[in-house]
Each structure stands twice: as structure tokens, then as C-alpha cells.
């Protein structure tokens, strides 16, 4: 009898293994270092086109915003990283994936459950019988083909991706805070500049009125200067609105109720342009940018899921058993059994094979997305470098132009005071010089924005989270 059962078991195992082989599945090897889908001649790893030949200044350690040497900005950054609800919500996903990781690996080990039962049976003749049992149930699947381990590895890579997504969220948060901070700084400086320009325009208006009263000038001169003063004063409401808008943005980014905290006090001037960060070569972005690292982990996770699907095509073998104390009415008997199970596909109309193909296609899809993200990252770095360089050129030209216009304004005022020309050249030079002064402030803020964009494009660097 035992020999007969052994022969039957061999036949069953052979059928299962053969069915797995006929399904066209083979064990899968995962690529642990996904590569972008770019041909070799396009990926020669040369330096960035717009990168400076030599890094400016000394390199800095620590978070990227420390290079601006603004203690107030540092405090706002710390506040936003601690309190921003969007970043906190993304950190919750790490806990969720960690729980799934534990779940996926739990079936590698025997599953033991406790069981107890008590029943009472009444018969027509009045007899009553009791049955009771108490014991343990065992079930353990042998991970012969690596199905469970593949699922566990997929969840481990999903965990890595969740961590990198959190880092990416922190990077975008800090860049948004810096943008809002320097935008607020610019508006405060613009308001200060406008007040100075208003004071100058009022002085010039008084002078034109004085000359008009002395018969040395016309009423048109007075009206022209009056219009210049009013046009300058009219700029203040928009600036005040922009200041309030940036304040409310910072409220939101720092997790505060809008308008319910004291206003931020920015620096009196823009910081000097900090030392240029080292951009390295394009392939460095694959290691530096958290969004690209997250995509790498997602590709590996999907690749492990391919292995999981392939293993689903092959037989599963598990053992089980129970050990019970049973009796009526007391637990006087010890009962045990053992079971070996083997289950595998015989015919599923191509369902499992199609699932393998679907998951392989998902891997290819994510590789294409990874390639697109990498190319976009290179573009962002090149754009930030080019933009900063051209803005710096524009600022230098505007400063030169402003120096010339100020000389023109001074000379025009002297000639006007001597009666050698009318007020129009003075007004024109004044209007152009004041506009250039405002444009220069905007340009300096735009140059800082380009530097922020560069740090965002190269991945920071970011601080390691506390604890």
C-alpha cells in the first residue's frame, strides 16, 4: 500500500513539473542596476555644456540652502521640514510599505494557528454528547521557485522608492520655500526702493514748483513731475499685495494657518551669489536625484514581480498538519496528522503566461519613463546653468546702463537748472533710471531663482533626517 502511494505521488510531481515547463516559464534574473534606454553615442558622459569650467568659490557641506548664509532662511527651512503636512503625508507611505514588506516575507516561515472547538449534540432519545478539541494547525509553503522571495524583494524595493519619494518631496519643498523667501525679500526691497524714489520725486516736484513760481519753468514741467510721482506711488499697492501673497505662501509651506502668525522678517539685502555647486557629469544625476533613485527602485520592484509571476507558473509544494487534544467531554486524547500538498497549473488558457508578459511590459514602460526623467533632469540642469549665466550678463549690462543714465540725469538736471534745456530730458532720465533700479532688483532675485533651480535639478544636497 505504501509503495502504491509513493508511485502515485511521483506521478503527480512529474505532472506538475512538466506542466510548469510546458507553460514556457523559466526562473528570472533581476537586473539590480537599471540603465536608461539611450544609445552609447548619446550617453558619452561628457560634462554639462553650460557648466562653468572651474567651480566658483569653495565647496560647502550641509544642506544646499546653507550656501546663502541666511540664518532666517535656515530657520524657516527647519520649520517647513518639520511641519509641512504634504511631506508628512508622504512619510506615512514609508510606514505602509514597511508593513507590506513584513507581510510579504511572513509566509517564508511556518504559519501556526491555535484552534479550539466545543460542541454539544442532543439526540431525540434525550442523550447529550459533548465534543471538545484544543490544538495547533501548521501550514508551510516551500518557496522552491522563489515566488515568495521575489514578492518580498519587490516590496523591499518599493520601500526604497517610498523613501526616495520622501526625499524628493523634501527637495521640492525646500526649493519652494527658498523661492518664496527671496520673492518676499525682493518685494520688501522693491518697497524700500519705491519709497526712496517717491522721496526723490517729491524733492524734484518741489524744485519744479519753485522754478515755476520764479518764472523759470512752465506748468508743464510741474505736471510732468507730478505725473512721475503719482506713477511711482501707484506701484505700492501691487507690492504690498505681493508681500502679503508671499507671506501666505510661506504660511502654507510651514504648516501654519494663513495669516495667523507674525510676519517673517527677511534680510535687508539679497545674499551674495554663493559658490557654484559642483554639477559633475550627467550620469551623476542618477545617483544624486532622489526622483531618479526612486524610479530605479520601482523598476527593480517590477522586475522582481516578473520573477514572482514566473514562479506562479510552477508547482507549489507545502506541508501542513495539526496536533489536537480531543475528547468527550474532557481532552484526554492526543490526535495529530500531517499533510503534504502539491498544486500547479495544468491548463489556464494562457492566463499565467499573459501575466508574465504584462509584468515584463510594465518593466519596459518604467524604463522608458526612467529614461525620460533622466533626459528631463539633464535639461533642467542645463537650463538652470544657462539661465543663471545669461541673467548675470544682463545684470552686468543693466548696471553699466544705470551708471550711464545716472550721469545723464545729473547732467540734465544741471542744464535744466541753468535754463539750457527744458524738463523733458530730466524726466526721461529719471523715469529710465528708476525703472532700471527696479529691474535690477528683479534680476538679482531671478539669478537666485536660477541657482535654486540648479540645486533642485542636481538633487540638493539635502540634510539627513534627524533620528
Q: What is the pLDDT of residues 61-80, one digit of tens each?
A: 689 999 999 999 999 999 99
- Let me know: does 269 contact 323? Beta carbons within 8 Å: no
* pTM summary value: 0.85
User: Order of strands across the sheet with 333-343?
Assistant: 111-122, 128-142, 316-327, 333-343
- Let me know: does 398 contact 444? Beta carbons within 8 Å: no
Helix (H) or strand (E) segment spanning residue 397 = helix 351-417
Q: Which three cell numbers stand for residue 355?
A: 501575466
Residue 185: is its pLDDT beyond 60? yes
Secondary structure of 150-195 as H, E, C letters: HHHHHHHHHHHHHHHHHHHHHHHHHHHHHHHHHHHHHHHHHHHHHH
Q: What are phi and psi of 38, to 5 degrees?
A: -130, 135
pLDDT at residue 276, as a whole number: 86
pLDDT at residue 363, as a whole number: 95
Q: Which three cell numbers stand for residue 233?
A: 506711488
- Range in 123-127, 247-251, 336-340, 448-452 the model is least confident about: 123-127
What mean pLDDT is predicted for residues 120-137?
81
CA 41 vs. chain centroid, Å, equals: 30
What mean pLDDT is predicted for residues 3-8?
48
Quote the CA–CA distance of 37 and 32 in Å, as a whole number.
15
pLDDT at residue 22, as a whole number: 45
Q: Which three cell numbers stand for residue 415?
A: 542744464
Helix (H) or strand (E) segment spanning residue 118 = strand 111-122
Q: Which three cell numbers stand for residue 121?
A: 449534540
Domain 67-458 class in CATH: mainly alpha
Residue 368: is its pLDDT beyond 70? yes
- CA proximity to 26, closest of 353, 286, 369: 353
Please identify which residue in the block is written with the cell numbers 523733458: 424
Q: Packing angle between helix 85-106 and helix 147-213, nearest 10 degrees?
A: 170
Q: What is the DSSP string of 288-348?
A: H-HHHHHHHHHHHHHHHHHHHHHHHTS-EEEEEEEEEEEESSS--EEEEEEEEEEE--S--
Amino acid at each position: 500500500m505504501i509503495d502504491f502511494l509513493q508511485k502515485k505521488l511521483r506521478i503527480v510531481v512529474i505532472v506538475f513539473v512538466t506542466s510548469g515547463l510546458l507553460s514556457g516559464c523559466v526562473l528570472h534574473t533581476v537586473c539590480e542596476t537599471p540603465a536608461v534606454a539611450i544609445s552609447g553615442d548619446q550617453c558619452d558622459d561628457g560634462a554639462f555644456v553650460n557648466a562653468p569650467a572651474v567651480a566658483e568659490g569653495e565647496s560647502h557641506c550641509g544642506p544646499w540652502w546653507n550656501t546663502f548664509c541666511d540664518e532666517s532662511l535656515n530657520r524657516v527651512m527647519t520649520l517647513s521640514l518639520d511641519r509641512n503636512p504634504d511631506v508628512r503625508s508622504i512619510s506615512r507611505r514609508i510606514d505602509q510599505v514597511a508593513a507590506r514588506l513584513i507581510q510579504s516575507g511572513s509566509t517564508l516561515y511556518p504559519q501556526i494557528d491555535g484552534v479550539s472547538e466545543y460542541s454539544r449534540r442532543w439526540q431525540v432519545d434525550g442523550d447529550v454528547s459533548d465534543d471538545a478539541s484544543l490544538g495547533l494547525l501548521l501550514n508551510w509553503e516551500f518557496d522552491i521557485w522563489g515566488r515568495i522571495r521575489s514578492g518580498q524583494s519587490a516590496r523591499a524595493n518599493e520601500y526604497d522608492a517610498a523613501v526616495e519619494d520622501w526625499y524628493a518631496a523634501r527637495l521640492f519643498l525646500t526649493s519652494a520655500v527658498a523661492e518664496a523667501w527671496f520673492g518676499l525679500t525682493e518685494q520688501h526691497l522693491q518697497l524700500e526702493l519705491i519709497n526712496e524714489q517717491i522721496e526723490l520725486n517729491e524733492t524734484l516736484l518741489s524744485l519744479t514748483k519753485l522754478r515755476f513760481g520764479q518764472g523759470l519753468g512752465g506748468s508743464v514741467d510741474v505736471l510732468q513731475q507730478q505725473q512721475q510721482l503719482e506713477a511711482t506711488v501707484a506701484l505700492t499697492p501691487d507690492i504690498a499685495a505681493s508681500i502679503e501673497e508671499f507671506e501666505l505662501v510661506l504660511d502654507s509651506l510651514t504648516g501654519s494657518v494663513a495669516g495667523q502668525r507674525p510676519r517673517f522678517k527677511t534680510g535687508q539685502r539679497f545674499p551674495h551669489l554663493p559658490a557654484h555647486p559642483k554639477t559633475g557629469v550627467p550620469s551623476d544625476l542618477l545617483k544624486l536625484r532622489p526622483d531618479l533613485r526612486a524610479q530605479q527602485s520601482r523598476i527593480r520592484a517590477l522586475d522582481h514581480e516578473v520573477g514572482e509571476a514566473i514562479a506562479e507558473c510552477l508547482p507549489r509544494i507545502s506541508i501542513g498538519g495539526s496536533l489536537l487534544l480531543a475528547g468527550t467531554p474532557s481532552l484526554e486524547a492526543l490526535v495529530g496528522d500531517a499533510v503534504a500538498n502539491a498544486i500547479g497549473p495544468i491548463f489556464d488558457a494562457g492566463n499565467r503566461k499573459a501575466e508574465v508578459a504584462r509584468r515584463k511590459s510594465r518593466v519596459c514602460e518604467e524604463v522608458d519613463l526612467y529614461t525620460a526623467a533622466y533626459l528631463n533632469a539633464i535639461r533642467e540642469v542645463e537650463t538652470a546653468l544657462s539661465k543663471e549665466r545669461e541673467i548675470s550678463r544682463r545684470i552686468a549690462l543693466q548696471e553699466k546702463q544705470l551708471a550711464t543714465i545716472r550721469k545723464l540725469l545729473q547732467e540734465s538736471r544741471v542744464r535744466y537748472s541753468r535754463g539750457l534745456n527744458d524738463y523733458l530730458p530730466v524726466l526721461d532720465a529719471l523715469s529710465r533710471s528708476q525703472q532700471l533700479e527696479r529691474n535690477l532688483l528683479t534680476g538679482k532675485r531671478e539669478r537666485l531663482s536660477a541657482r535654486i533651480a540648479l540645486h533642485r535639478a542636481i538633487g540638493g544636497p539635502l540634510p539627513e533626517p534627524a533620528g
